[in-house]
Amino acid sequence: MKKIDALLKLQKSGRNIFSSVDLQKLLRTESGNTACIQANRLTNDRILERIAKGVYCLKDSKPDDFETANFLYKPSYISLESALAYYGILLQVPHSITSVTPKRAKKISSKGKEFVYSHLAQNYYSDYVREKLFVIATPEKAIIDIIFFACYGRTVIHPDEWVWDNVNKKRLKKVSAEIKSRVFHNFFNSLKLY
């Protein structure tokens, strides 16, 4: 397939990120090997840019870090420090893009950025929304997620430094009630957030 034809097909798809399987379908190649060869050629021709092994984006339309985080490890949603910073609750911008997943915890480095995925039990994997091109915890769920990890010593938090303007405290209480852990509730109540 000619470079220009491949570029037009990929642009027409309306997507920012492509896996090797996506490229195989969109470019109608016969096999996964052919799709990898095609991806390498398009990367060498500076049409595609490799984000991670088997993951590409169009060179001229790079995806947002949050969209990339969702794509690199599925299922996952942006939460913890990244979501708190996004909503203006946490004033410091975290170095890593933080997400939660019901799968195994994982770190992925790509293009000088670190994507951190923390394991969260499937029954707590909830209360997220689609924002633009990515999936993110609601402000209240991001707070509950980070408090949950803090109560088990997996992170350190300073709620007295958070900006609470965008937080619905009634909703925060409702979301916290869904956590079935005495350790969590003892820690949560000790913070005196209401």
Residue 137 · residue 83 · CB < 8 Å: yes
**What are φ and ψ of residue 98, in 5° steps?**
-105, 135
Residue 95 · residue 113 · CB < 8 Å: no
The Cα 3–Cα 165 span in angstroms is: 50
The Cα 47–Cα 192 span in angstroms is: 53
What are 81-91's pLDDT values in tens digits?
A: 999 999 999 99
Question: What sign does the dihedral 179-182-187-188 (CA atoms) show?
Answer: positive
Using CB atoms within 10 Å of the CB of residue 189, give its burial: 0 to 12 exposed, 13 to 18 middle, 19+ buried. Answer: exposed
Q: At what angle do helices 139-151 and 169-177 cross, to 10 degrees?
A: 50
Tell me, what's the pLDDT at 1? Answer: 61
What are the residue ranges spanned by the domains of the chain?
3-58, 65-190
Q: Residue 8 has which token pair? A: 């037009």
Tell me, what's the pLDDT at 31? Answer: 75
Tell me, what's the pLDDT at 102? Answer: 98
Tell me, what's the pLDDT at 131? Answer: 92
| Gyration radius of the chain over CA positions | 20
Q: What is the pLDDT along the chain (194 residues), one digit of tens a residue?
A: 678 888 889 999 988 899 989 999 998 887 778 888 889 999 999 999 999 999 999 988 889 999 999 999 999 999 999 999 999 999 988 999 999 999 999 999 998 999 999 999 999 999 999 998 999 999 999 999 999 999 999 999 999 999 999 899 999 999 999 999 999 999 999 998 87
- Of the candidate CATH numbers 1.10.10, 3.30.70, 2.50.20, 2.40.50, the domain formed by 3-58 belongs to 1.10.10
Query: Which of 115, 24, 26 lies closest to 65 in space, CA to CA?
Result: 115
**Partners of residue 56 on adjacent β-strands:** 18, 50
Say if strands 48-52 and 55-58 run parallel, antiparallel, or are unpaired: antiparallel
